[in-house]
Homo-oligomer: A and B are copies of this chain.
Amino acid sequence: MKLKIGIIGAGRIGRLHAENIVTSIREVEVRSIADAYVNDNLRKWADSIGINRVYENHKEIIEDPDIDAVLICSPTDTHSQFIIEAARAGKHIFCEKPIDFDVKRIEEALDAVDVARVKLQIGFNRRFDHNFRRIKEHIENGKIGDIHIVKITSRDPVPPPIEYVKVSGGIFLDMTIHDFDMVRYLTSSEVVEVYAVGEALIDPSIRQYDDVDTAIVTLKFDNGAIGTIDNSRRAVYGYDQRVEVFGSKGCLITGNDKPNAVEMYGQDWVYSEKPKYFFLERYKQSYIDEIRSFINAIYEDREPEVTGLDGLKPVLIGQAAKKSLKTGMPIRVEVV
């Protein structure tokens, strides 16, 4: 019998998961979707992919006894509350990142999950990306020995609207948070101290929201490794997502995915394609694979590949980075 899923939040990411499940994860049924703003467009879309139940109130999903699991794709400030509600209703939970900006609320949510003994997976989809997963495999197979240096380059093609910047929690909590998760994933080690520098070089006006658009974060890990992450809100050549892990026996480097493998030799240059434009196309397959992994964790009754703790830790690192940027000092990451 098919697992039945309800999706809370029908924005871009909620719809993406719905469509991915319908087309690619046929052992699951999307039974219902809820969104605070239901309109004809949403109903029509839901109908087109065969979702019959569209609710304004997410509780209709949480209280539906036929639902096995929920995907929480609503705004960040609802995540911890919805996790708690879903956990108490005995539903397995997939929740988009970040869980919350407030550590206490995250901990309450994780407690509720523990008590209810349901599965909780956090939406760090990049862990399922073919390039990063391959790097992880090589590390685990001992191909590069002990890790000495980790480097991540993560740059967006265009800055988000200023309205988003105001509420996003800042660059470290909305953008670098993916990289904080990635270094934990790749190194299997915890970040103990961060030092952040940053500037508003693309749009100085965001300085008024205590934010920057260009940043470098230096990291110390508990196993002695060190690392650096560099971010920019605007790489004119597209979405730049590279990782390098240097170890005692070698080095792993992944470049960007490109839309095609064509090189054009002309009179002045050899031309090749820019990286894939943005995260939806770049990480397309990873969004499918993370849900498949979540479904399998339920079927096989095992711990999800991205746990609640994995959701909490990057928030702690991000908050330390914010504090470092503000104070100009290296900051220890809070231990939980």
| Residues of chain A having any CB pair with chain B under 8 Å | 23-24, 26, 48-49, 130-131, 134-135, 138, 143-144, 146, 148-149, 151, 153, 155, 195, 197-199, 201-202, 214-216, 218, 220, 224-228, 230, 232, 234-237, 240, 246, 248-257, 259-274, 328-330
Contacts and interface: CB of A to CB of B under 8 A. Distances in A.
A259 B137 CA distance: 14
A146 B197 CA distance: 18
Nearest to A200: B224
Contacts of A149: 214, 216, 230, 232
Contacts of A227: 216
Contact of A236 (B254, B256, B267, B274): B267
Contact of A271 (B214, B256, B270): B270
A329 B329 CA distance: 6
25 contacts: A131-B261, A135-B262, A146-B201, A148-B199, A148-B202, A148-B214, A149-B216, A149-B230, A195-B197, A197-B226, A198-B226, A216-B218, A230-B246, A234-B248, A235-B251, A236-B250, A240-B265, A250-B265, A251-B264, A254-B260, A254-B262, A254-B263, A268-B274, A329-B329, A329-B330
Contacts of A246: 155, 230, 232, 235
B263 A250 contact: no
B266 A273 contact: no
A135 B134 CA distance: 29
